[in-house]
Structure 1
């Protein structure tokens, strides 16, 4: 005797639910409900996440462009340059009374463990105002010394330019340059030095366009 045969009629599963079509419809219903819940959660968190990103951007920009150099909104005033080497690069423009007093932008280099996002501020004369690493995946205790929270190495770029040091000096000491490397981690600082140098050459290529006066606010 089968199990169904001994169940009372009301305890037996409905034939529709046991059929492939019924099971498929139930699975589809569950998937729809889950998708709606995820979409609702995404809508609830989108605004707070965007606000946090804006706060992080402003904090990072403030570290590479001193506040006393501008009276505009660095996060909002952006010029995009189309560069033959780097592609399209958004440039945050610092200005005081409409005159450009500096720019800040991000480039990506590649270290031992992957991408290193580098933010740099540059004065109109091509001098670095500051450099910060926004994100990386380098080895803790070795490559992570590129973070300002882990050491002062990154602060050594302030005041540098394409002529200070000379072109051959834009390397780590192991390669004949002037920038220190880390014990057991040469690839990481080498990547940052190269990225910053790329940024300065990008600024030089587009200097005239980037230093054009800002249009008056309406």
Structure 2
């Protein structure tokens, strides 16, 4: 066949059509398993942060312009607890997402880290069982803690939450997400609109400190571990 602009265009169009159809078929095949896996992960997280329950009702909120999901868990028709899928964008490497469980009275039942991309061996310890952050809040009502401007804060910021060693920014992010969860819990219980909940140092202070950490790294050491280590005194 003689090569012409018309038949080359037709061939290219045919290849594009086949490729698009293939992508569509793959998407159809995978969309349900992906949704099922996500639902299973959410159910597992709820089970870890809540007392025993029969079912949950879901409510969507926006706090500090971030999407928050509240799961009201019931057992035999009575409220068993509240789980809040909370998040922050103030992690050392971006988004940190938590599932925070509360008893009906407001005590933090447990915390599950759903997503984080912090420095291995430092900020990633927030996901370890029994880490200092979790020990500082699990089994306690935030209202009974030492608050700074009405919010939980790490000791470096005047609060009484123990931070991860050499990972202050990651620790602040974890507590920021918990403060947002606490705000959502109070809104779910009271029926009032949730209040903004940004905690700890101001965002400008966080960024300034993060910049200082990077500068310290350039002048004294190399690697992500050293960079995160520069956050502390």
* 1:48 equivalenced with 2:30 (yes/no): no
Q: 2:133·2:162 contact (CA, 8 Å) conserved in 1?
A: no
* 1:139 equivalenced with 2:119 (yes/no): yes
Deviation of 1:160 (Å)? 2.1
SS of corresponding position for 1:39: helix
**C-alpha separation in 2, matches of 1:145 and 1:93:** 28
Structure 1 155/88 Cα, relative in aligned 2: closer, same or farther at 3 Å? closer
Deviations 1:161-203 (A, max 9, x none): 2322131382212222222222321100111112212221232
Give the match for residue 187 of structure 1.
169
Give the match for residue 216 of structure 1.
none
Give the match for residue 164 of structure 1.
144
- Tell me the TM-score normalized by structure 2: 0.73
Deviation of 1:88 (Å)? 5.8
Q: Please give the residue correspondences for 1:1-40 in structure 2 after superposition, counting only pairs within 5 Å.
A: 14-15=1-2, 18-40=3-25
**C-alpha separation in 2, matches of 1:56 and 1:172:** 29
4+ residue segments displaced more than 3 Å:
83-89
Structure 1 195/90 Cα, relative in aligned 2: closer, same or farther at 3 Å? closer
Structure 1 78/202 Cα, relative in aligned 2: closer, same or farther at 3 Å? closer
Q: 2:102·2:110 contact (CA, 8 Å) conserved in 1?
A: yes
**C-alpha separation in 2, matches of 1:84 and 1:60:** 21
Structure 1 48/128 Cα, relative in aligned 2: closer, same or farther at 3 Å? same
Q: Is there any run of 5+ residues in structure 1 with no aligned partner, and where?
A: 1-13, 211-218
Give the match for residue 174 of structure 1.
156
SS of corresponding position for 1:167: coil
Equivalences, count: 188
Deviation of 1:58 (Å)? 0.9
SS of corresponding position for 1:24: helix
Larger Rg: 1
Deviation of 1:208 (Å)? 2.9
**C-alpha separation in 2, matches of 1:78 and 1:202:** 12
- Tell me the TM-score normalized by structure 1: 0.77
* 1:129 equivalenced with 2:105 (yes/no): no
Q: 1:148·1:154 contact (CA, 8 Å) conserved in 2?
A: no
Structure 1 204/141 Cα, relative in aligned 2: closer, same or farther at 3 Å? same
Q: 1:104·1:120 contact (CA, 8 Å) conserved in 2?
A: yes
Deviation of 1:87 (Å)? 6.2
Deviations 1:34-55 (A, max 9, x none): 1111111111122222221111
